[in-house]
Amino acid sequence: MSFAKQQIDYALGDGGRSFVCGYGNNPPVQPHHRGSSCPDRPQVCDWQTGYNNPGANYQTLTGALVGGPNQNDEFEDRRDDYVRNEVATDYNAGFQSTLAILVANNI
């Protein structure tokens, strides 16, 4: 359990920045996620108003884990870097499940 907690703590910001949208120190604001890039839900989102916006995404995906840093612990919060900034169900499922286990065990 201590390794799981260490990994969760790192994702939440113990390493200096959070990799969870809307949470912790300096969280990602440009996740590679179409819905959060759209300015006026439910309007059609296109490349100009969403993907190529130089600023933060218009919608915050609170609680969503992005891909995270590379093997050298480097991370750039860039929407076009789908490897590090994509929000995907495979690792978010593991992240949320691990959080649930830690909370259930008061860790």
Structure tokens at 49: 């108003």
pTM value surpassing 0.85:
yes
For 26-82, the pLDDT digits (tens) are 999 999 998 888 887 677 777 776 788 889 998 999 999 999 999 999 999 999 999
Helix (H, G, I), strand (E, B) or coil at 63: coil
Range of the domain at 69: 2-104
Number of domains the chain is built from: 1
- Name the DSSP letter for residue 97: H
How far is 26 from 17, CA to CA, in rounded Å?
A: 5
Cβ 45 vs Cβ 37: under 8 Å: yes
